[in-house]
Amino acid sequence: MVKLRLKRCGRKQVYRIVAIDVRSRREGRDLRKVGFYDPINNQTYLNIPAILYFLEKGAQPTGTVYDILKKAGGCFSRISS
């Protein structure tokens, strides 16, 4: 099963949103990078076609990623965590 989860990068609180197998550890090998989240500067980048592709294939977002997608609105308002 694939999950959309946050992967920390760098020394500060900066995260990549990645599609990753649930058996992999958080910093493990990801299938694809689908976004970027910086809570300090309140910046978010989402690769919407890639995220929709994984959601259509059955990927489940984690709680935090679900909240980020919900804030983005639009086509993500109907997804379930």
Kindly report, residue by residue over 40-49, the tens digit of the pLDDT: 999 999 999 9
**Is residue 33's pLDDT more than 80?**
yes
DSSP labels, the chain: -EEEEEEE-SSSS-EEEEEEETTS-TTS--SEEEEEEETTTTEEEE-HHHHHHHHHTT-EE-HHHHHHHHHH-GGGTT---
Task: Using a pLDDT cut of 90, give the percent of the chain over it.
Answer: 62
CATH architecture of 2-78: 2-Layer Sandwich (3.30)
CA distances from 24 to 2, 8, 21, 32, 51 (A): 10, 14, 6, 13, 19
- State residue 53's pLDDT score: 92
Domain ranges in the chain are 2-78
